[in-house]
Amino acid sequence: MNDSWKQDPRIKNMDKRKLDLLDSFAGRISQMPKNQLFHAVMELNLEAQKSGIQFSDQETELLAEILTGKLSPDQKQKLDTLRLLSRRLAGQK
């Protein structure tokens, strides 16, 4: 994953703590095998919760769109499944 997502103008008003967390996450997964992505997303969710960081639905949708822009349809479907599971674990709809 490259750092081009940081240049997207739609995130310019996002809280710096959220952007720092995402930057750290992007660095961790850049060299990670794809079969470990689920575990990494779950760790990110826990890390955000421990830090008191919550992403709004709009922020989550925007980030997913930015970060998955170059994924195949199959990979995007897998990510959507992970996001649904994450919402359920967090007690959201």
The pLDDT tens digits for 24-75 are: 888 887 777 877 777 787 788 888 889 999 888 888 777 777 766 666 788 7
| pLDDT for residue 52 | 92
Contact 48, 55 (CB under 8 A): yes
Alpha helices by DSSP H, listed for the chain, are: 16-29, 37-50, 57-67, 73-89
| pTM more than 0.75 | no
Contact 28, 42 (CB under 8 A): no
User: What's the pLDDT tens digit per position in 66-79?
Assistant: 766 666 788 778 77
- Give the DSSP letter of residue 14: S
